[in-house]
Structures are given as C-alpha cells and as structure tokens.
Amino acid sequence: MTYFSARRAWSVSLNPQKFTLPDEKEIKMALTPVQVQTAQNKLVRTGPACKLDYLHVDLRGYGIPDCIIFRPANLPLKDDAAFLVEIVGVKDIHGRALTARYVVEFFKP
C-alpha cells in the first residue's frame, strides 16, 4: 500500500508464446473485492465488482507487449484488501477462449 493508490492503473501482460494477441473489443474485466480464507483454500466475494473507468489493450511493445491496462473508478483500498481479477476474452495460441484469474492482496510493510 505504501507504493500504490486507489487511482492508479493496473496492468497484466500475456506471454505471447502461450496467448494470442488480445482483441480489445473482446476483453471484459472484473475486479472484485474478496476475502482470502487460506485455511479453507477459498475466496469469498465481499462486494460487487469495481467499476472501471479505463480499459485498453496496448500492443505496441513498450516493455512487455500485449498489455491489458485497466483502472478502477473507485477502488476500496485499505490494508489487507484483496481483489480477484478476472479477464474474459483471452485466447491461447490454439484459439481456445480462456478466463484468466488471479488475486492481488495489499498490505502495509
């Protein structure tokens, strides 16, 4: 949390050896607050998905290519906040549609 703020953009880059170039028209993002229950090995959604005010797929290759950039409009950021990021509309190199999911947890060092 020391190095991040609620209005910063998030990004994810896809490995071009495993994924095709993402099409911005097909990408749908969900950023949902969750509680991580480690002992039960599960996530519990604690609120609705955050609204996004920016979504863009950058294929220009600055740094890592194939970058999906998104920004929540009002991120409920606090110590121990966790979010499930879900990306619908990505395809593997064989053309199969996938949903990419990962969790981001914030903390104060």
Q: What is the pLDDT of residues 32-44, one digit of tens each?
A: 999 988 888 899 9
In sequence order, the β-bridge partners of residue 10 are 70
The pTM assigned to this predicted structure is 0.87
Residues of the chain with pLDDT under 50: none
Secondary-structure class of domain 10-105 per CATH: mainly beta
60-78: pLDDT as tens digits:
866 677 889 999 998 888 8
